[in-house]
Amino acid sequence: MDVLGSASQVELNLSRAQLDEERQIRALASGLRVNSASDDPSGLAISENIQTQVLGLQQGVQNVQNASNLLDVADSALSNVQEILQRVHSLIVQSSSDLNSVSDLQIIQTQIDQLLQEVNKISGTANFNGVNLLNGSLAGYSSNSPTIQEVQSPLLPDGSSPTGTQVVNWDGVSGQPGNLVSSDIDPGPATQPRVDSTNSISSFVTFRVIGYSANAVDPDTGTAIGPGDYVQIIAYSADPRMGVAPEWVDTQAFSVNAGVMSGLTIQTPSGTPTNLLDISIANLTPQDVGTSISFLTSVPAGGPTQGTPLQVNSTGNEGGEVQISLPSVSTAALNLSEITVMPSQVENSNDQLTGTSDNSVSAADAEARVQAALDSISQVRATVGAQTVALQEDANDSSIQVVNQTASESAIRDADIGQSVTQLTMDQVLSKVGTSVLAQMQADAQLVIQLVGGLNPGSKGKV
């Protein structure tokens, strides 16, 4: 009877059962299958890596929420600026009436100035957690290059509305209509005029075909040109380089059916001319009388600016940053600093002052600039909204990844409660059985000892 060998085997099995029982108790107490590297070395390494990713994703979601709050603040400030500029636009429209006296216009101008001061206040003070939002510090690089856009033309001298910006005969041959003013030299799709990037000022320029004569004489030179159209050019600018008056009027005669007149430059009437527009005028015909077109040129003050867009890590990984860029909404940046609805002094083509005109040109300039600023604010708000949506999509994607990564990490590290309970029960049974077997084997050992003792010669007569 191999009692010792059997006991060793039972003790080994009992030890294994008790060790496993201890492991199952730790798993049930902590909820984790892997409590230390010895439980599952590779599983621990993988789960820790996944946990790092999960924590990064969760922080990315928090970053997105903070960035969304910042954009909400910026949008609210932009909304206030938009409402103010809408009020300014209404005041400009109110000023565009001959029923207003000069004192009425001065009151309107005072209101406009006060509202524009409020725009500058918002631009300078809007912030989130100490970060200035709309002063241009988050705008990134801005070249401040001149811009130009076609705007709605003011009324014609007879009070009627312009018939449009298309001429009846674009090239004198095919009869195809085209833009009255273009930068194209050859006939074809029209493009806008050019503004000299180094020698230009903000201005409002209108071209009107005001009449036709079979024996036209150019008012500037006195030259008879035969059949021709009279084109009136009205330029307005509050820039001191404009000359002695903010408004300048010139009328020129152009021969009809002479083709496209290219390479024309409109300059200020001042002693040192400053460029306003480089243009080409389409081929004109007698039927083009009534055509009108206006352009607004904008040259922001100052040179190039360099801001720093905000960087927001929305993914929790290196390289997962998104940029938040917000422009300045100051009156200088919006090209509104010098708008006025007051009547302007007029200089004609032969450098003679003709007194003051009504405020139609200055109000048209102000209205066009405010409308351009409103369009710019609307575009910025749309961009802010798009950035918010994009950030929320990043947050949603990160949240989905958190769920999936957490599930993967849980599958590796968390305990299977049902399996652990079953295994613990089995280990407890094995421990009890092993202990009972050892006890029984100990009793058997005593019997063996007694049997061996009964065979001892000193125990004669004893059974």
Determine the Cα angle at 150 with ends 148 and 153, to 5°: 135
Tokens representing 347? 């200089």
What lies within 8 Å, CB to CB, of 34 at 6+ separation is 40, 43, 44, 47, 412, 413
Tokens representing 222? 């006195």
Buried b (16+ CB within 10 A) or exposed e, 28-54: eeeebbbbeeeebeebbebbeebeebb
Residue in the structure block whose two tokens are 């631009």:
123
Q: Which amino acid is at 179?
A: N
To the nearest 10°, report the CA torsion of 134, 140, 142, 147.
Answer: -70
- Answer whether residue 140 is part of any domain: no
Per-residue pLDDT at 463: 44
- Answer whether residue 327 is part of any domain: no
Q: Are 280 and 261 in contact (CB under 8 A)?
A: yes
What lies within 8 Å, CB to CB, of 319 at 6+ separation is none
Q: Which of 168, 360, 183 is nearest to 277 (CA)?
A: 183
CB atoms within 10 A of CB 388: 20
The two beta strands, 247-255 and 127-128, are unpaired
What is the C-alpha radius of gyration for the chain, rounded to an integer number of angstroms?
44
Separation CA 335–CA 367 (nearest Å): 12
Separation CA 168–CA 284 (nearest Å): 8
- Answer whether residue 248 is part of any domain: yes
Q: Are 293 and 180 in contact (CB under 8 A)?
A: yes
Up-side HSE of residue 9: CA atoms within 13 Å toward CB?
6
As for how many domains the chain has, the answer is 1
- Enter the DSSP assignment of 303: S
Per-residue pLDDT at 32: 65
Range of the domain at 252: 145-299
Q: Is 301 helix (H, G, I), strand (E, B) or coil?
A: coil
- Answer whether residue 354 is part of any domain: no
Q: Are 252 and 230 in contact (CB under 8 A)?
A: yes
- pLDDT tens, the chain, 463 aa long: 455 566 677 667 767 766 766 666 766 666 666 666 666 677 677 777 877 777 888 888 888 888 899 999 999 999 999 999 999 999 999 998 888 999 999 999 999 999 999 999 999 999 999 899 998 888 876 666 778 888 877 766 566 667 778 888 776 666 678 888 876 444 444 455 777 766 778 899 999 999 999 999 999 889 999 999 999 999 999 888 888 889 999 999 999 988 888 888 888 887 778 888 888 888 899 999 988 888 888 876 655 566 788 888 877 776 677 888 888 899 988 989 889 999 988 988 766 777 788 888 999 999 999 999 999 999 999 989 988 888 888 888 888 888 887 777 767 766 656 666 676 677 677 777 777 776 776 676 677 677 766 666 555 544 4
Per-residue pLDDT at 461: 47
- Answer whether residue 235 is part of any domain: yes
Up-side HSE of residue 327: CA atoms within 13 Å toward CB?
21
- Cα–Cα distances in angstroms (integers) from residue 237 to residues 92, 154, 303, 348, 395, in the given order: 17, 16, 20, 14, 49
- Answer whether residue 110 is part of any domain: no
Separation CA 190–CA 212 (nearest Å): 24
Q: Are 90 and 125 in contact (CB under 8 A)?
A: no
Q: Is 37 helix (H, G, I), strand (E, B) or coil?
A: coil
Q: Which of 207, 182, 204, 203 is nearest to 194 (CA)?
A: 182
Buried b (16+ CB within 10 A) or exposed e, 327-361: bbbbbebbbbbbbbbbbbebbbeeeeeeeebebbb
Separation CA 170–CA 98 (nearest Å): 36
- Answer whether residue 19 is part of any domain: no
Tokens representing 367? 């209205």
Q: Is 430 helix (H, G, I), strand (E, B) or coil?
A: helix
- Answer whether residue 217 is part of any domain: yes
Model pTM score: 0.76
Per-residue pLDDT at 185: 42
